Structure 1
Amino acid sequence: MKTLLLAVLAALSLSACVSVTATGDLGVVIERADGKVAVVNTTERTVLAEIDGLGDLSHASVVFSRDQRFAFVFGRDGGLTKVDLVTQRIAGRVLQSGNSIGGAISQDGRLVAVSNYEPGGVRVFDADSLEMVADIPTGSKVVGLVDAPGRRFVFSLFDAGEIWMADFSQGPSPRMTRYANVGKQPYDALITDDGRTYIAGLFGEDGFALLDLWHPERGVRRVLDGYGRGEQPLPVYKMPHLEWLTVSGGLAYLPAIGRHEVLVMDTATWRQVGAVPVLGQPVFIVAQPDKRRLWVNFAFPDNDKVQLIDVESRSVAATLTTGKGTLHLEFTPRGEEVWLSLRDEDAVSVWDVATLTPITRLNIAKPSGIFFTPRAYKTGM
């Protein structure tokens, strides 16, 4: 009898392990109002668990460990929380600053870096233990922190108008490279998915600052310098997120600031070659995994809609009414579905990409960011 009982328990344990540790179709949704994350299964389109105690998630982002088991959640209150998606519990948490604005994980998955508003600077932690490895003071708010190949982190200084690169390839004491006078008030930045090009958007003036990480010795150059000069900018109700630059067919697509258009740039020269008029102020521009179409959402008052841009014609192919407070868009790994967070409807809506119709809704309170585990294998995500 005892042997039979042990066999049954072992089988149940193995079954649970198999079902829970298949992390490739998992993800998390930020519940911004309640300091929670919802763990979701993208294959079954279900909520597996809600995890509480993550602090202020009013502006939160997530990166994943290379085995996809752990989500590192960066909260606005300076909290860095390590969430175990298998046990669906908090595996570690450190309140590392007074106000933070995101983070990144190194190419080898061993370091997690956090960018801070208060007291400024970047702090870097061991991904296993969450013990601090390095403290990089900057005397400025830090934005646009990304991981780059070669165990490097690149980030921008909002107050100082600079771009810094921290190279951890030789150990825990980073080799620092600083680029001054890159432009007024860099507010966000991105890195292309090949890890080569870092681009910072400028809030204090029109234009972008570009750093070629293959040739960092060449310094930072300006691109789209003074775009839209002489035109009256429209009100900016929500700043666009530059980490969602999309490259397709040798062209890059960026949200314009204070204008109802998507900028088109040639990635060989990084010069503007066009602009696509859209419904409102774009916030996120997200490409389907096949890069055929771009999905664009908007700031208020157009934040109940999404427009699709066809990359061949460089024109709007469809306008979808998706729901109130449409914030974040995330595609399933191979792009057959897209998940949309509807903040003002307390729901996540799942859409079929081929038919452009909704499939189902998940009840999730005040959702914002949606992050799926395949991000673990992408640079700058």
Structure 2
Amino acid sequence: MKRFIAILEVAALSFVCSSAFAGELSSAETLYRDNCAECHGPARLGAIGPSLIPESLGRQKKEALQAVIANGRAQTQMPAFADALGEDEIAALADFIMKPLGEMPVWGKAEIEASRMLNADYKSVSEPVFDADRYNLFVVVETGDHHATILNGESFEPITRFKTHYALHGGPKFTPDGRFVFFMSRDGWVTKYDLYGLQKVGEVRAAINARNIAISKDGKHLAVANYLPHSLVVLSTDDLSVEKIFEAEDSKGNSSRVSAVYQAPERDSFIVALKDVAEIWEIATDPNAKPVYTGFVHSHEKGMVEALAVEKGLFARRRIEVSEPLDDFFFDPGYRNLIGSARDGGTGVVVNLIVGREIARLPLPGFPHLGSGITWMWRGRPVMATPHLKEAKISVIAMDDWSVLKTIETDGPGFFMRSHENSRYAWTDVFFGPNKDVMHIIDKETLEIVKTVRPEPGKTAAHVEFDREGKHALVSLWEDDGAVIVYDAETLEEIKRLPMRKPSGKYNVWNKITFSEGTSH
């Protein structure tokens, strides 16, 4: 552990500091240097503590940051400063850490490799060390105190609980055999964990600020989508070493944040969403991938179109130009089409990945949260359904002609929607607004809400996930003194409640590795 901390400290000091540290320090900068830099890095990029930059702080408001500075964080190494600093000083510190960095931080292959550490005490096992269905495990992320719980999906009893990095984000990803799971934090830390042996294998910092991860179809490669720096990093799942770094630029050289990366198993590729430029990438994860033509020119002399450049094989990149940058993606079951949200927040754009162009646009006002969309067959037609972040409704979309089939009114805007191929119901939360404590249950045949449950009045109910067989639905009581609540998926009655510290996602191994139609991928 001492060696690990030393590596982090050396790496932190090697960062290119923001312009705030280049000249004379302000009073707020001096406060930061004297009280925060030792744990959070001289440039706010993190060391043994998380980075303190807007991208990592998420939606936290100034008042909440001031409270953390003053009172510390329970069960962490974050101390309280209320006795050492005045209210004005604490407010100045909060303002300072909410300011964007003055310049893009450097975090390339050398910095990534310097942070990589494999667990010297890790010992591989041939069989699970627990007595439970290895495919019916849940990985529960508890954001209240930054831990993860491995939950038996049959008895609904915890098997183990362990500490994670601060602010896990984007959902863990599993190897195809369900043995290993990978976590990613907003600070770009990627951790490999062995579900058979219940041991951490190793970890590496792939970025300063990351958005999500995706694993390749064969389980050999892990892609990390990053805001800082603007990059897509591909790691070996074996030892977390760097295999490839893509600088996130469009064909004209315009830099962009990478908003997300997804596995497209039917295509043996990664699909990459760029946030600031009108381009989508497809990255081959097949070493025998066919050539990708990256540009074309028309030769008048020869009367033909000639390829300007060719990429082929593993990590060949294909650029797909779109009319505008797209956010938040959903894929049809065969990964032939993707649908993304246009920046106006009211339009869905369908891009066919085979021909590489837009094929449809449909009205979806209210910012659809496509990343949590689900699919099923409705009266012989493939449909998808998505909640909306800013309007109280669910949109049901026919994927054969990309029309809005029905709009289901809800008690408020939602965030997560889930189902299972063996269940006739779809569950959706009402994450935003005064009715955040309710969960709607929709009949997938009638497209009507058949029941609304309120697990705990006044407390946020969120993120449903089903067990392997679709017999139980697990709901998060998303509070610091929260719980995972188990419902019978047929009778819709509560059968068990497990205390948890602000449980966020609950990820079932089988549903994830089989790409269940009722869960996000």
Instruction: Please give the TM-score of this superposition, normalised by the length of structure 1.
Output: 0.86
The percent of aligned pairs where both chains have the same amino acid is: 24
Tell me: CA distance 1:140–1:87, structure 2 relative to 1, closer, same or farther (3 Å).
Answer: same
* Structure 2 partner of 1:46: 157
- Whole-Å Cα distance in 1 between the matches of residues 287 and 407 of structure 2? 43
Structure 1 residue 152 corresponds to structure 2 residue 287? no
Which residue of structure 2 lines up, in the alignment, with residue 246 of structure 1?
375
Structure 2 CA distance for partners of 1:241 and 1:204, relative to 1, 3 Å: same
Residue number in structure 2 paired with 1:365: 501
Alpha carbons 2:278, 2:322 under 8 Å: kept: yes
Asked whether 1:318 is paired with 2:444, we answer: no
Which moved further from structure 2: 170-179 or 55-64? 170-179
Match of 2:357 among 197, 219, 223: 219
Q: Deviations over 1:4-44 (max 9, x none)?
A: xxxxxxxxxx9985745841121211111323211111111
Residues 132-281 of structure 1 correspond to what in structure 2 (within 5 A)? 132-138=242-248, 139-148=255-264, 149-170=266-287, 173-184=314-325, 186-213=326-353, 215=354, 217-224=355-362, 226-228=363-365, 240=369, 242-249=371-378, 250-281=382-413
* TM-score relative to the length of structure 2: 0.64
Deviation at 1:222, TM superposition (A): 3.8
Q: Which residue of 1 aligns with 2:515?
A: 378
Task: Give the unaligned 5+ runs of structure 1.
Answer: 1-13
* Alpha-carbon separation, structure 2, partners of 1:369 and 1:339: 10
Identify if the C-alpha distance between structure 1 residues 264 and 86 changes in structure 2 by more than 3 Å, giving closer, same or farther. Answer: same
Higher radius of gyration, 1 or 2: 2
For residue 284 of structure 1, what is the aligned residue in structure 2? 416
Give the Å deviation of 1:299: 1.9
CA distance in 1 between counterparts of 2:375 and 2:216 reads 22
The change in CA–CA distance for 1:290 and 1:223 in structure 2 (over 3 A counts) is farther
Does the CA-based 8 Å contact 1:51-1:90 persist in structure 2? no
Corresponding letter in the other structure for 1:316: I
Amino acid at match of 2:350: L
Q: Note if contact 2:128-2:134 (Cα within 8 Å) is conserved in structure 1.
A: no
Bigger mean CA offset, 254-263 vs 77-86: 254-263
Q: Per the alignment, do residues 207 and 241 of structure 1 end up closer, same or farther by CA in structure 2, a change over 3 Å counting?
A: closer
- Verify the 8 A CA contact 2:133 2:153 in the aligned structure 1: no
Which of 1 and 2 has higher RCO (CA within 8 Å, sep 6+)?
A: 1
- How far apart are the structure 2 equivalents of 1:265 and 1:367? 30
* Aligned twin of 2:469: 334
Structure 2 unpaired stretches of 5+: 1-124, 249-254, 289-312
Equivalent residues of 1:60, 1:369 under 8 A apart: no
Flag the 1:140–1:40 CA change in 2: closer, same or farther, 3 A. same
Q: Are residues 349 and 182 of structure 1, via their aligned partners in 2, closer, same or farther at CA, if it must alter by over 3 Å?
A: farther
Does residue 1:26 correspond to 2:155, yes or no? no
The amino acid of 1:93's aligned partner reads E
- The equivalences for 1:71-150 within 5 A come to 71-138=181-248, 139-148=255-264, 149-150=266-267
Answer yes or no: is the 8 Å Cα contact 1:62–1:72 preserved in 2. yes
CA drift of 1:311 comes to 2.2
Residues 15 and 252 of structure 1, relative CA distance in 2, 3 Å threshold: closer
Give the direction of change, closer, same or farther, for the CA distance of 1:15–1:32 in structure 2 (3 Å limit): same
State the Cα RMSD in Å: 2.4
2:97 equivalent in structure 1: none
Q: Residue 356 of structure 1 corresponds to which residue in structure 2? A: 492
Q: Which amino acid aligns with 1:378?
A: F
